[in-house]
Structure 1
């Protein structure tokens, strides 16, 4: 039996094996600008943020390879001055990809 592309996609969907979407650093930057820029400087060319919050480039340099799961877990227990931020898996992966882009 020959499966069409749509049939193969449907079979993967029903089997729960949908290929993961690649993390998107550009979407991560948009998310950082929306959720984090009130306190953090989120880009090399940005100037907003408070003086006591670390910049995203500094966090990227300090914390090494930030993964989506690590970031999502880290945000479950934020430091006292940080508001509660809840990210879904896609958002966490996108934000981690943005941190990786800042390291380059």
Structure 2
């Protein structure tokens, strides 16, 4: 129950913090830096990256999903989930990473 309430508050924070579907105010350049630092050990985060885990999607493939939403992705990054390390991202950082991924569409 508490986790469900936490998700609702995170979602409300994201909706109020990001505004429209383009995650207003998000910095894709900063998101690219964060992705190279924190995500590239598992995901292919940019063209020319030589190594990543075989069983995880590239950022470009995530961006091309028909149901892709930068807001939903940022929310996903803020909520701990078992298959990924628990990085202590701020809402701004999660939005920046989501904006970077969206820029790969």
Q: TM-score range by the shorter chain?
A: 0.5 to 0.7
Length, aligned pairs only:
80
What is aligned with 1:44? 47
1:12-66 Cα deviation digits (max 9, x unpaired)? xxxxxxxxx8211110000001110000000133222111111010111124222
Give the corresponding residue for 1:12.
Answer: none
Over alpha carbons, which structure has the higher Rg? Answer: 1
Contact 1:72 1:87 in 2 (8 A): no
Aligned twin of 1:101: 103
* 1:86 aligned partner: 88
1:64 alignment counterpart = 68
TM-score, normalised to structure 1, is 0.67
Give the distance between the partners of 1:81 and 1:65, measured in 2 at CA: 20
Q: With CA pairs under 8 Å and 6+ residues apart, which has the higher RCO, 1 or 2?
A: 2
Gaps of 5+ in 1: 1-20
TM-score (norm: length of structure 2): 0.66
